[in-house]
Structure 1
Amino acid sequence: MTATRHLTGRFPLAMAPAAAFPLFTARGEERWVPGWQPRFPVSTVDDSEPGTVFETTVDGECTTWIVLDREPDRRISYARVTPGSRAGTVTVEIEPSGTGCTVTVTYQLTPLSPAGERALADFAAEYPEFLRSWETMIKALG
């Protein structure tokens, strides 16, 4: 199998970091990601609190997420495991810019199986378009 993939990309948003940050929490992504429905095994008020666990199902794959770290309005980091496929981390960093903010999204993922390796290769090939879709969907919020 191939090694861990480290994928990073950036996009601008015309909003302050304080407005952007909540969009990258489990519940915040429901506002702009079609079909995103996080499930929390334990009720939580603050879904950005380190240690918070939630699950998502996308394209038939169940993924478990754990909030690792956060700096409100600046950074949030998750561990994620899709059993039998891939595991790693996702970090979203938000920097102020002249017209709002710049969002940097970094995925560091390791395949857990040959099928996971194929899925990860496809994800890596589509990563620039994947982030462009994030920018487009968030901007469509108005």
Structure 2
Amino acid sequence: MPHRPRHICTGTLTVALPPERAFPLFTARGETLWVPGWSPEFVSDVDDDTQPGTVWRTRTHEHETTWIVVESRPPTAATYARVTPGHSATTVRVRLEATVTGSLVHVDYDLTSLDPSADALLEQFVAEYDDMLAEWQRLISDALPRLDER
């Protein structure tokens, strides 16, 4: 079997909330507050979606992706594994550090292509990674007034 391409992306964004309030925004349920169309479907009934071993699915870009919480240390870090069959396997690591104005959020993606048909899409993901994090920052900032209402 030939080796498949692997890409590692790292970047940061800022959130005008302390880690205790920002961390939930990077969980399966929390992302519904700011990611358009994000709709996790939990495989089993869970109260705490930050527990290691929690599994959910999402459907985006014509693919179904299975996510698993690998590690969780609220409010400072979480690691997720995600597999999109026939496309890619990915580890997503989120780390939050307190700043004077809120949180600096480090987001790392480690992506491996599972099929030649996914190679170009992963290369595009890498090329647009910084723009994606800037968009996350904008979406979260826009959602903050709604979060204060909760």
2:128 pairs with 1:126:
yes
Where structure 1 has 5 or more consecutive residues not aligned to the other structure, the ranges are none
User: How much has 1:119 moved relative to structure 2?
Assistant: 1.1
Q: Identify the match of residue 111 of structure 1 among 110, 113, 118.
A: 113
2:76 pairs with 1:71:
no
Moved over 3 A (4+): none
**1:45-84, aligned counterparts within 5 Å?**
45-84=47-86
User: How much has 1:2 moved relative to structure 2?
Assistant: 5.3
Q: Is the 8 A contact 2:14 2:103 kept in 1?
A: yes
User: How much has 1:3 moved relative to structure 2?
Assistant: 2.9
Quote the residue 1:26 is aligned against. 28
Whole-angstrom CA distance in 1 between matches of 2:104 and 2:46 = 28
Q: Is the 8 A contact 2:8 2:108 kept in 1?
A: yes
Quote the residue 1:13 is aligned against. 15
1:32 counterpart letter in structure 2:
W
TM norm structure 2: 0.92
Q: Is the 8 A contact 2:17 2:102 kept in 1?
A: yes
Whole-angstrom CA distance in 1 between matches of 2:31 and 2:51 = 15
Identity of aligned residues (%): 44
Whole-angstrom CA distance in 2 between matches of 1:91 and 1:85 = 20
Quote the residue 2:39 is aligned against. 37
Cα RMSD for the two superposed structures = 1.0
Whole-angstrom CA distance in 1 between matches of 2:4 and 2:137 = 29
Q: Deviations over 1:56-92 (max 9, x none)?
A: 0012110000000011110010000000000020011
Quote the residue 2:148 is aligned against. none
Whole-angstrom CA distance in 1 between matches of 2:99 and 2:10 = 18
